[in-house]
Amino acid sequence: MKIVVDAMGGDYAPKNVIAGVVEAIKEFDVQIVLTGVKEQIENELKLYHYPAGRIEIVHTDEVVGMDEPATVTIRKKRNSSISVGLRLLKEQGYDAFISAGNTGAVVAAATFNLGMLPGVSRPAIGLVIPTLKGVAFIIDVGANADPKPEHLCQSGKMSKAYMNAVLGVQNPTVGLVNIGEEEGKGTEFQKESYRLMSESISTFIGNIEPNEIYKGKSDCIICGGFVGNVILKVSEGLMEASSILIKREIKKSPVALLGAFLMKKKLTHIKKLADYSEYGGAPLLGVNGIVMISHGRSSPKAIKNAIRASIREIEHKILDVMAKEVSAS
């Protein structure tokens, strides 16, 4: 099993990426191929003891910045750590690609270099999120900001396959994010998406309102990339603001300060409700290859967890399973 990791991706690259990779090879039976600037990678690797044969470096001299436009990987920097990494999947048959780099650039390069999975017309980014009942899978959180109803329906099928094959959920339910529960609610886009999904996804449970997401009302949560990205970022911002407010408030009262000290362990646990580093990365679904996008601020632990998640996808032959599910109806 060979997993390609973009050593240059993320706000703390290559440092955090390399640290996560070294942790991963100690824990999992996997070969890692690092793409990026060889000298920088070697300098980082020197800091660790690890089985040297398990990490390989493929030098690339171009690096994609976090703020560059998505098309840069296709139009200009075709020898970037992202593009080269993805071509290794296509040309060498390597098993998966992970990057904490520029999300738009990874999506564009993956679509261009790997092509689409049969039956799927657009890529979508999924994310495993914690809920009161366990976990749910929300898709799309940002690959396709202006989708058509058939793209949402394809996301529904892919996520159902993913939840079942990779996360072991039997007959995962599929819900469509909408601002009302009844069938006729929302825009024409919503109504048509509803119709397509109800016709072709057996476990479709209808609309789910955004306040039901964290309660775990459905296993798969389907929405367009704009709405999904808003859901994630509002959640992130609200948890951050609450946390700042808690600290600000308890400082005003010695009693509350003591209370907070006693609760500290449990409060940390709560914060995980909007902490996505636990799963390590967001699978990019719809392209013809296993691609995982990690957060730009990924810790070494997040990178290690992204590698673990990719291994699970490889083991469960997620591409075959999804292609079968998409073409089934």
Does residue 1 bind its own copies (CB under 8 A)?
no
Pair 67, 38: CB distance under 8 Å: no
Least distance in angstroms from the C-beta of 154 to its own copies: 19
| 234 part of the interface to its own copies, by CB under 8 A | yes
Q: Confirm if 117 and 316 have CB atoms less than 8 A apart.
A: no
d(CA 327, CA 195): 18
Least Cβ distance, residue 238 to its own copies (angstroms):
5
The stretch near its own copies (CB under 8 A) out of 54-62, 107-115, 163-171, 227-235 is 227-235
Q: Which of 11, 39, 56, 236 binds its own copies (CB under 8 A)?
A: 236
Examine residue 328 and tell whether it contacts its own copies (CB under 8 A). Answer: no
Segment interacting with its own copies (CB under 8 A) among 29-37, 87-95, 184-192, 285-293: 184-192
By CB under 8 A, name the one of 246, 277, 312, 316 that touches its own copies: 246
Report which of 323, 327, 319, 324 is spatially closest to residue 90, judged by C-alpha positions: 319
Q: Is 231 a binder of its own copies (CB under 8 A)?
A: yes
Torsion of CA 102, 326, 310, 65, to 10 degrees: -10
Q: In Å, what is the CA distance from 28 to each residue of 25, 137, 192, 284, 305?
A: 5, 24, 44, 22, 11
Considering only residues 71 to 130 of the shown chain, the ones binding its own copies according to CB under 8 A are: none
E strand or H helix that includes residue 128? strand 124-131
Residue 209 vs residues 98, 119, 143, 178: alpha-carbon distances, Å: 32, 28, 22, 5
Q: How far is the CB of 248 from its own copies (least distance, A)?
A: 8
Nearer to its own copies, 267 or 328 (CB): 267
Q: What is the sign, positive or negative, of the torsion defined by CA atoms of 207, 213, 215, 216?
A: positive
Size of the chain, expressed as the number of residues it contains: 329
**Residues 204 and 174: beta-carbon distance below 8 Å:** yes
Q: What is the largest CA-CA distance in the chain?
A: 63
For position 266 contacting its own copies by CB under 8 A, the verdict is: yes
Q: Which range in 72-80, 120-128, 142-150, 294-302 contacts its own copies by CB under 8 A?
A: 142-150
Q: In the bound complex, what is the minimum distance in angstroms from residue 284's beta carbon to its own copies?
A: 16
| Other beta carbons within 10 Å of 153 | 27
Nearer to its own copies, 136 or 306 (CB): 136
Confirm or reject binding of residue 240 to its own copies (CB under 8 A): yes
Which contiguous run of DSSP H or E holds residue 206?
strand 204-208
Tokens of 77: 């920097």
Please tell me whether residue 67 binds its own copies under the rule CB under 8 A.
Answer: yes
Which segment (48-56, 73-81, 115-123, 213-221) binds its own copies by CB under 8 A?
213-221
66 binds its own copies (CB under 8 A): no
Binding site for its own copies (CB under 8 A): 67, 69, 131-132, 142, 145-146, 177, 179, 182, 184, 186-189, 209-215, 225-227, 229-231, 233-242, 244-246, 249-250, 252-253, 255-256, 258-267, 269-270, 273-274
